[in-house]
Amino acid sequence: MRDVEFAEAKLMNAYAVYQSAELAQSQHKVWFWRLRGEHRARVKELQPEVDAAYKTVRELGKERDGHMRKAKRTLGVWSDAGVEESRAMLWKSFESGKVFAQRQTFWDALFTIINSRDRDWISMLLNLLLTALVNYTVGSVMAVVSFMFSLPSFLWSYGAGVFSGTLFFVIASIGAISMIASYLSLIYASGAAVVYSTAAFVDLQRRRLAYEQQQRLRGGGRGGNGRAHYE
């Protein structure tokens, strides 16, 4: 790990030099600098320094990655570091899928509300709920697929063998699918609860309106009979 830390330190220093060179050059990239000879010449003069600094960053980045691969292969994919990194990959994919679902649901809800002039609020609510369930399902499936596609390069970086890598891939995939299935089950259960509550509320409103209408009809009937008797 000392080689990794040393390579990381050299990379950070080289990147600082690159940023400094790029900043010095960018100070001459004023408005219409390509048409202004003094600034254009200065930018061209500083370009080799920027290119050299960038090349150093790339070379040190490859060196750091090489030391990182050696360290990972020494530890092994079943080490605490390997398991923790795979867990972090899964959560990253999961968060990406969730953000996709949230963003898509927001836009779908916005357009549904805009186009809901001739629709009652109950049907609009159920439509939004169905849309959200579909978006979260798609986002979760995308998260699992993305995670599974990233596993081979992860296993290669740790130098896992065929048997060990295949076993890790299967276990990690089953774990990801199980987690997403539990997450979707919770969402579907919440959606079912909302649908049940909405249906119960609609039924209660229907019964109340029917009762009020029945009471008005009874009151109207008694009033009519009384007027006829008086006449």
Question: What are 79's two structure tokens?
Answer: 């080490």
pLDDT tens-place string over residues 12-34: 999 999 999 999 999 999 898 88
Average pLDDT of the residues in 88-100: 93
The count of other CB atoms within 10 Å of the CB of residue 148 is: 16
- Are 55 and 21 contacting, i.e. CB atoms less than 8 angstroms apart? no
pLDDT tens-place string over residues 43-61: 999 999 999 999 999 999 9
Averaged pLDDT score across all residues of the chain: 86
Nearest to 24 by CA among 40, 42, 36, 37: 42
pLDDT-above-70 percentage for the chain: 92
The count of other CB atoms within 10 Å of the CB of residue 100 is: 17
- In single-letter form, the type of residue at position 153 comes to S
Q: How confident is the model at residue 229 (pLDDT cuts 50, 70, 90)?
A: very low
Question: What pLDDT, on a 0 to 100 scale, did the predictor assign at position 3?
Answer: 76
Q: How far apart are CA 27 and CA 198, in angstroms?
A: 62
The count of other CB atoms within 10 Å of the CB of residue 122 is: 13
pLDDT at 108 over 90: no
pLDDT at 230 over 50: no
pLDDT at 147 over 90: yes
Secondary structure, 3-state, the chain: CHHHHHHHHHHHHHHHHHHHHHHHHHCCCCCCHHHCHHHHHHHHHHHHHHHHHHHHHHHHHHHHHHHHHHHHHHHCCCCHHHHHHHHHHHHHHHHHHHHHHHHHHHHHHHHHHHCCCCCCHHHHHHHHHHHHHHHHHHHHHHHHHHHHHHHHHHHHHCCCCHHHHHHHHHHHHHHHHHHHHHHHHHHHHHHHHHHHHHHHHHHHHHHHHHHHHHHHHHHHHHHHHHHHHHC
pLDDT-above-90 percentage for the chain: 48
Chain centroid, CA 34 distance in Å = 41
Question: What pLDDT, on a 0 to 100 scale, did the predictor assign at position 220?
Answer: 60
Average pLDDT of the residues in 85-106: 92
pLDDT at 91 over 80: yes
Question: What pLDDT, on a 0 to 100 scale, did the predictor assign at position 180?
Answer: 93
pLDDT tens-place string over residues 168-225: 999 999 999 999 999 999 999 988 888 888 778 777 877 777 777 777 777 665 554 5
Which sign does the torsion angle of CA 53, 24, 22, 68 carry?
Answer: positive
Average pLDDT of the residues in 61-80: 87
